[in-house]
Amino acid sequence: MYTVIRNYTVAPGLAEELKKRSKDIESEVGSVSGFIAYQLIKTDGGATSITMCENRDGCDESTKRAANWLQKNLPNLKIGTPQIISGELAFKFASLKTTKV
């Protein structure tokens, strides 16, 4: 598995706008070949997204799609270039308990 984290630090209001359009984002990023999961974290300065795919190609494609989607759908929102961190998943664990966001 491969993971990419996109940290948008100069993006006030980004998390709220993405949350309003969550179905569109799910359709755009979720259709990437090898897609596993996507999460969005609201931060003080903007937002951080985490995408997991079966391989690097899927994460690279999700990053391209995210950038294109933002340009097309939120052209008036001032969004700085995100810091991108990516790599192979070293290990994982999860709780079987879930809560709805």
Q: In CATH, what number is assigned to the domain containing residue 69?
A: 3.30.70.100
Please, is 2 exposed, middle or buried when counting C-beta atoms within 10 Å of its C-beta (0-12, 13-18, 19+)?
buried
Residue 93 domain-assigned (yes or no): no
Residue 40 domain-assigned (yes or no): yes
Task: Give the closest residue to 45 by CA, choosing from 8, 90, 2.
Answer: 8
Mean pLDDT of the chain: 92
Residue 49 domain-assigned (yes or no): yes
Residue 81 domain-assigned (yes or no): yes
pLDDT surpasses 90 at 100: no
What is the number of structural domains in the chain? 1
Residue 95 domain-assigned (yes or no): no
Residue 97 domain-assigned (yes or no): no
- What is the predicted pLDDT for the residue at 38? 96
Q: Which domain holds residue 45?
A: 2-88
Q: What confidence category does residue 99 fall into, taking pLDDT thresholds of 50, 70 and 90?
A: low
pTM as predicted: 0.88
List, for residues 38-70, the tens digit of each pLDDT value: 999 999 889 999 999 999 999 999 999 999 999
